[in-house]
Amino acid sequence: MELTAYLNKNIDYLFRRALSAAMRNPRESTFLLRQAHRQARAAAKRRRSEQTGQAVPAFLIASVASACNLRCAGCYARADGACNTEEACLLPAARWAELFEEAAAMGISFILLAGGEPLTRVDVLEAAARVPSAVFPVLTNGTLFDAAVLRLFDRHRNLVPVCSIEGGQTETDARRGAGVYHLLEQTWRAFRARGILFGVSVTVTAENHLRVTEAAFLGGLRAKGCGVVLFVEYVPADANASLHPPDDAQRAAYSARLLTLQTVYPDLILIAFPGDEAKTGGCLAAGRGFFHISASGGAEPCPFAPVSDVDLHTGSLADALRSPLFCALRENGMLAMAHDGGCALFGKKAELESLAGTE
């Protein structure tokens, strides 16, 4: 099956599962039903674009903030300098609003808001809320949800909070700081009281892959009201990192467990990233399935490959998809190369800069 059809089929499946899980929540199910129709139109746009020779990805990752209130051990964003962007270089909320509108018009279905900590840019969240045809998973540490921000998420169901954890309280507090998991549980109770669909993003390592794919672990999250679990393979920030990405055998084992767990918990949406690259012909970065916009406006292949040859302060998303860097990556086979860990491009900055002409 060709890539666009494969991704469209999986997005349709995702919405059908979400709708089934939300049937006891009238407000959420109404939103999801309306959104499923919007996503069908977006999929049709992507098919038409592919027929004209310019494929449009289904996903966009937007690092809308460089500031963060936590200092998590081994944070890749701090390691590559993304959390040190000068405020004057950041994309303003008005420009983010234009990019979100452009993305939705092109047929991009999901715009993942990341950081830094995206809740430090409430102005950008408000801009996203005004684009109802796209879904905005907000990848957050979950500690900054005050009453005003909760109201924003309650009113605009296209903003979907996804809170980052490492496992249970012990693992999460060890990496993110003492007391963080307790704050997360308070936030989850607030979501549940308002009927807000929320998820968690679990960092999967060689050390925790068994723990985070236990039925009891997922059952505990489900009992707290969680509806989506995103499993993201750990990418080491430096050679001295204390954690390690899963090896091939561990990856195959936990992927098989997730398939079983999806039948055990049919009302939980389980998503693995980067997913099965064998089925997609390699990594989905550089516009094959997604690309990344940095807080300073650089169009990058992915968050772990901070190299750009298009500045989105002035350039368009169409410019980014046609950029020499993205085109070279889609054509030269680098995205399909065997690699360790969850990112095909991590650690290849020199090669990427050569392709972008920025070395």
pLDDT, position 1 = 44
Higher confidence at residue 23 or residue 186? 186
Q: Write out pLDDT tens, residues 310-321.
A: 999 999 999 999
Q: How confident is the model at residue 192 (pLDDT cuts 50, 70, 90)?
A: very high
Q: How confident is the model at residue 336 (pLDDT cuts 50, 70, 90)?
A: confident
pLDDT, position 301 = 93
- How many domains does one find in the chain? 1
Rounded Cα distance between 187 and 143, Å, is 7
Q: Write out pLDDT tens, residues 193-232.
A: 999 999 999 999 999 999 999 999 999 999 999 999 999 9
pLDDT, position 84 = 64
Instruction: Please name which of 321, 324, 320, 214 lies closest in space to residue 270, comparing C-alpha atoms.
Output: 214
Residue 121, C-beta contacts closer than 8 angstroms, at least 6 positions apart: 64, 65, 93, 115
The answer to whether 39 touches 201, Cβ cutoff 8 Å, is no
User: Which tokens hold the place of 84?
Assistant: 């040190």
Q: Write out pLDDT tens, residues 150-161.
A: 999 999 999 999
Percent of the chain with pLDDT over 90: 62
Q: For the packed helices 122-129 and 93-106, what is the interaxial angle rounded to 10 degrees?
A: 30
Q: Write out pLDDT tens, residues 286-310.
A: 999 999 999 999 999 999 888 999 9
Mean pLDDT of 43-54: 91
pLDDT, position 14 = 80
Percent of the chain with pLDDT over 70: 93
The answer to whether 91 touches 295, Cβ cutoff 8 Å, is yes
pTM over 0.85: yes
> pLDDT averaged over the chain?
89
pLDDT at 48 exceeding the cut of 60: yes
The boundaries of the domain holding residue 273 are 3-356
Q: Write out pLDDT tens, residues 119-138.
A: 999 999 999 999 999 999 99
**Which CATH number do you get for residue 101?**
3.20.20.70
